[in-house]
Amino acid sequence: MIEQPVKEPKLAPKTIQAMQYVDAGLTPRQALQAVNLKSNISNQAISKFNAKYKKYSLTTPKMQKLASKALQDCLSDKPINGEILPSYTNKIAAASMVYDRIEPVIRQNLNINVDVHPVDLSRWSNRISVDNSQIIAVDK
């Protein structure tokens, strides 16, 4: 008899968002507080979240090993399922996904060559003086 594969439960959108926050550098407690908009998060909720994070995270050693194996299969130019050869686009995408998971790139836009000098505008006034004697009425 063939056993049916067990379907994994779908994660709630808040759980996925909290996982993204943890990937960005927050602690699990801070991530759950940010997602749920609450300041008090129970230790049980944090424990359940940590279990889900370890199970579904792409940064775990098990997932890194699977990604490495998939990358090696993709880069070896062997046909997938016996007939489809991976394209160069798929190879580059696979390599970048593995690299981004293990060593994420931190991008910062810094402009070091900018000098800011405050200008004192208190001497200037925006008053416009109008001389009414020079206004000429024109009839059409």
pLDDT in tens, 48-81: 999 998 887 766 777 777 777 777 777 777 766 6
What pLDDT digit, counting tens, does each position of 79-121 carry? 666 677 777 777 777 777 766 766 666 666 666 666 667 777 6
Rounded to the nearest 10 degrees, the angle between the axes of helix 28-36 and helix 13-24 is: 140
Quick one: which of 37, 54, 33, 56 has its CA closest to 45? 33
Confidence band (pLDDT; 50, 70, 90) for 138? low
Query: 1 pLDDT exceeds 60?
Result: no
What is the rounded distance in angstroms from the CA atom of residue 23 to the CA atom of residue 57?
A: 9
Are 94 and 70 in contact, with CB atoms under 8 Å apart? yes
In this prediction, residue 127 carries a pLDDT of 62
Torsion of CA 25, 28, 30, 31, to 10 degrees: 80
What pLDDT digit, counting tens, does each position of 114-133 carry? 666 777 766 766 666 656 66
In this prediction, residue 41 carries a pLDDT of 93
Question: For the whole prediction, is pTM greater than 0.75?
Answer: no
Distance of CA 38 to the CA centre of its chain: 22
